[in-house]
Structure 1
Amino acid sequence: MGDTLRTTQRLMRSMEYYFPHLEVVVGENNEKRYRFPNGIFHKLIAFSLDELTAMETAAQKIELMDHEDDAKLVRSAIRKVQALMNPDDRNRIAPDLESILRAEGLIASPGPKRAIPSEHVSVLREAIKGGNVCEIYYTKRDGTKRCEQLHPYGFLYGHRHYLVANNPARRTTPIRKIVLSSIAKVTPTDHLFEMPSDFDLQAYSHQSFGVFFDKVYDVEWVFSEAAAAIAGDFIFHPEQASKLNEDGTLTVRFSASGLQEMAWHLLKWVYRAV
């Protein structure tokens, strides 16, 4: 009993030290009760101008990736954060936040964008969380229509956005990518699946330069001295190894599939070297 009492007293002294605004109320039989004054949590939870700016910038970036629904959710979270702030702090930060956001812009990728029905993404997310097999109708790259019973594993976002799913009925390459904008209908079923414990979406995406998967090659790129300075600022693959050579050239090595996409990408560097 003595150890328990001393432990309690030590904890209460710590509370009084870290929370000096803590109020002590003495009740019947000299019992002490502790409470936080109204409004004290506004002082305990503080959000900086930089944090709010980063959140709004994140919402803008998500919008540029054609995820308007997700951007709305982020902005909803921002409003909740601002509601938690001390009113004086919120009013003080507001003008600076508006000024910074006007001064920082994001460049949208040029060219047309294909619409992604948000309801499809919502249904697929629920299926991923619940482990539900989905019947998915989509259009293949050659224009033919297809319907498959798939196990949705996740999404890959980039120049195009993809659903990564498994079709256990396929003996070769059961895991595949489907362009989200090509999906016409998603119907979840009552059948359940279990994602393999050894499947990692990030590791899967790192297998390829781009989105097409085939044989994995040990790749070595050598950039001329004229292009090396610029190429050194780029990350071409998450697991690349870079080396600046004595002659001023730059060597980049990594392992991945997708030789055709590598060739398309490297064509851009021909003009940088000229």
Structure 2
Amino acid sequence: MAISHIGGLLDAMTGLRQTVGNGGSPMRYGRLADLVRLALKMQGRADGLSLDDIGETFEVSRRTAERMRDAIRDTFPQTEELSEPGGRKRWRLPPGTTGRLADPTVEDIAVLHRGAELARQSGDKATADHLDTLSDRLRARMPGPKRTKLEPDIAAILEADGVALRPGPREGIPTETLNILRQAILAGVWIEVDHRARATGLLSRNARLGPMAMLLGEGRQYLVAYSEWAKDVRLFALAGFERIALTEDTFERSTEFDLSAWMQRSFGIWQEDIYDVVWRFTPEAAPEARLYLFHSTQELTDEPDGSLTVKFRAGGLREMCWHLLRWGDQVKIISPAALRDAMVDHLNKVQKAYS
């Protein structure tokens, strides 16, 4: 069944190219893989896909999106058309339409392994275990010959990524901590905790927090939560939780609080006063620096001498210093003065430690 479907898609593609060649504009779409992916998406979405969805997903014009939809309808006559209020239409494929095209591939399993390994390295064992289980379910659907060659292929892909061998320190957060915090966030309830502050070592008992999100990744990991005592949003190191208890009290996040905007105020995680930050990278470092997204508000300017100026607005001076150290003498802090002072102070402390 999969072979006949692929043949039908190839025929549809041939017809599309001929149509475009007879006076149409050059068609950006030209890969069978995109049509297969579109068919799987139309089968996997209960509400189907609109032309706008197709255009955004595959980064194509509306006319090309129409051609792609037509190719699917020509190959799968059972394509269903849905109408939304306002007249906009969506299209979907009934379950089972794509047959063996929906079988998982080695690449699918490798992606799950990659995600699980990254989650495990960031200390999120609960997510890693869940991804491993999902991978096992997909493996069970694979034909025997594919399963036989699966392990060496996955190992090769992960090694090529550098994921399996990625070094670096990380915190190991207990699975129970992550699970109960996720449960609280999804349920929208207050929690009562005993938490030990990282900086002072002091233990706060029976603190009431309204959990919002967890910041997981390399290095230290945190819970973003509303503190009943502080009457404000605060960060709490996950490693500092010594007890967490769910309550039955509903926590309602303020409708005025925007987590994304709150996070964008800082360079890393610490919420401080916002500064107008300006860095200048040397001509030698500019090509590499240009590839970085230092902050979502950044503006890049190429200088006449080949150097690169980076501007953005954020707080988090300490974390900026930590990052800038990796660039050595290839970057200069133009502003703010507070960041220059913080960097000098940090370097003096390091020098003193080794003198």
TM (norm. structure 1) is: 0.77
Aligned-partner residue type, residue 196 of structure 1: S
Cα distance, 1:115 vs. partner? 3.0
Taking the aligned partners of 2:152 and 2:133, their CA distance within structure 1 comes to 20
CA contact (8 A) 2:224 2:234 kept: yes
Say which of 278, 282, 286 aligns to 1:228: 286
CA spacing shift, 1:197–1:89, aligned 2, 3 Å: farther
Taking the aligned partners of 2:192 and 2:200, their CA distance within structure 1 comes to 20
Map 1:85-100 onto structure 2 (within 5 A): 85-91=142-148, 96-100=153-157
Taking the aligned partners of 2:150 and 2:77, their CA distance within structure 1 comes to 25
Counterpart residue number, 1:252? 310
Cα distance, 1:168 vs. partner? 3.8
Cα distance, 1:220 vs. partner? 1.2
CA contact (8 A) 1:42 1:84 kept: no
Taking the aligned partners of 1:179 and 1:15, their CA distance within structure 2 comes to 52
Taking the aligned partners of 2:212 and 2:126, their CA distance within structure 1 comes to 20
Counterpart residue number, 2:255? 197
Aligned-partner residue type, residue 213 of structure 2: G
SS of corresponding position for 1:226:
coil
Say which of 108, 124, 127 aligns to 1:70: 127
Q: Deviations over 1:217-267 (max 9, x none)?
A: 121111121221221222211332212222101011111111222123223
Say which of 195, 218, 233 aligns to 1:138: 195
CA spacing shift, 1:249–1:74, aligned 2, 3 Å: same
CA spacing shift, 1:122–1:176, aligned 2, 3 Å: same
CA spacing shift, 1:59–1:219, aligned 2, 3 Å: same
Map 1:1-274 onto structure 2 (within 5 A): 18=76, 43-91=100-148, 96-101=153-158, 103-106=160-163, 107-111=165-169, 113-140=170-197, 141-147=199-205, 148-158=207-217, 159-171=219-231, 174-272=232-330
Identical positions, percent: 30
CA contact (8 A) 1:45 1:85 kept: no
Count of aligned pairs between the two proteins: 241
Q: Deviations over 1:79-116 (max 9, x none)?
A: 111223344554465653454345553243434x4431
Taking the aligned partners of 2:281 and 2:98, their CA distance within structure 1 comes to 56
CA spacing shift, 1:40–1:84, aligned 2, 3 Å: farther
Counterpart residue number, 2:10? none
Does 248-257 or 202-211 show the bigger shift? 202-211
Root-mean-square deviation (CA, aligned residues, Å) is 2.9
Cα distance, 1:16 vs. partner? 11
CA spacing shift, 1:212–1:15, aligned 2, 3 Å: closer
SS of corresponding position for 2:284:
helix
CA contact (8 A) 2:103 2:142 kept: yes
CA contact (8 A) 2:278 2:309 kept: yes
Taking the aligned partners of 2:316 and 2:327, their CA distance within structure 1 comes to 18
Aligned-partner residue type, residue 154 of structure 1: A
Higher-RCO chain (CA-CA 8 Å, sequence separation at least 6): 1
Q: Deviations over 1:25-69 (max 9, x none)?
A: xxxxxxxxxxx9xx9986252223322222211111111111222
CA contact (8 A) 2:122 2:171 kept: no
TM (norm. structure 2) is: 0.60
SS of corresponding position for 2:325:
helix
SS of corresponding position for 1:62:
helix
CA spacing shift, 1:91–1:212, aligned 2, 3 Å: same
CA spacing shift, 1:59–1:189, aligned 2, 3 Å: same
Taking the aligned partners of 2:144 and 2:262, their CA distance within structure 1 comes to 46
CA spacing shift, 1:109–1:201, aligned 2, 3 Å: farther
Q: Where do 5+ consecutive residues of structure 1 fail to align?
A: 1-13, 21-35
